[in-house]
Chain A
Amino acid sequence: MPSAIIPIATYTTVGTVNTVVFSAIPGTYRDLVVVVRGSMTSSGSSIAIRSGSMSFWRQGVVAVFGGTSPTGVTNLNAQLYSQTSVSPTAFGLEAHLFDYAQTNKFKAVTMQDMGGTTYAAMTTGWGDTTSAITAVTLQSYGGSTIAAGTNFSLYGVTA
């Protein structure tokens, strides 16, 4: 367990929203952790994670979805996807971005997420940018919106 995980920012939706953006993220931590706890307004949608300075995520997934196992490697356009669900089956997502403020390496990420009653996944990947991450966007994908009461929290991990 890291020596300290410091809360940077948190937001709980009051009404429905499409996008939540953390910006002006200080570069003073070693890693970032993003946690989402909540639900969507309709099923079959996802939460996409992206950063404005990133052109590609390269993603490897070990997952179970609806009884099948879509394990694979993909190159995605600028975002990672996490499955979601509607109440009462709140979904959960936790993404760990390593060395986000470094400017000499692509950004590695590990993510675990679950949604519905038949989905769970572990993901590793890289964001193809050597720029420091100063903003993280979480956006609904697939036609649904993010339901009221969904919490988005950003943490900084000290070395």
Chain B
Amino acid sequence: MTYQRIATTTVGATASTITFSAIPGTYTDLLLVLSLLKTGGGAGGYSLNISVNGSPTIYRRTLVSGAAQTPIIENTSGTPLTIGAVPGTGNANIFGNTNIRILDYTSSTWKSAFVEDGFYYGNNGLSNFSGLYIDNTAAITEITLSDAGTTTFGQHSTATLYGILKGGSAATISTT
């Protein structure tokens, strides 16, 4: 199995932050799977802050959204990343789900990532896809999630971090 679960957490009541620390550098990629319940702040997505190695993330994102005809290109410094979540009030069984796949997280380049998220949007489902850069050239050893607003992560929210391995020698490789 090349997907190995590194750590998982389930929110008991509410939580302001979720942190994965001491992430080993033994994998090729990381996959962060989030199922988050928003406790307030109205409908729509979370304004999620992602801190890497203790520092707020500078990120560049190209977003293809099911809610907009015009693509969105963001180049931000320390501002939150809006991803899927739903308001808890009246929708306590509907969680926003997000996959964040970070490639080559130990490399010395900016980290490229794919973000897929789906959430509740005006009584409908909404899907987004983003290509994301995290402007950090250090190996990622810690990831902290928090909401930029006044909301918290609701009960039964889960966050799981997987490590993805490379390897194998069952096919032939050649280069020119």
Contact = CB atoms under 8 A, between A and B. Distances in A.
Given A7-B166, A92-B113, A122-B129, A64 B71 contact: yes
| A interface residue count range (under 10 / 10 to 19 / 20 to 34 / 35 or more) | 35 or more
Contact of A23 (B103, B111, B171): B171
Nearest to B110: A88
Interface stretch (B13-21, B59-67, B81-89, B149-157): B59-67
B168 A154 contact: yes
9 contacts: A10-B168, A11-B175, A24-B171, A64-B64, A64-B73, A89-B112, A114-B131, A117-B133, A119-B62
Contacts, number: 145
B131 A119 contact: yes
Contact of B112 (A9, A37, A121): A37
Contact of A1 (B3, B71, B168): B3
Contact of A18 (B109, B110, B111, B176): B176
Interface in A5-59: 5-11, 13, 17-26, 35, 37-39
**Interface range for B:** 35 or more
Most chain B Cβ neighbours within 10 Å, of A9, A92, A113, A155: A92
Residues of B contacting A: mostly: strand
B2 A21 contact: no
A114 B63 contact: no
Interface string A101-120: 00000000000111101111
A63 B133 CA distance: 16
Interface string A137-155: 0000000000001011111
Contacts of A112: 114, 129
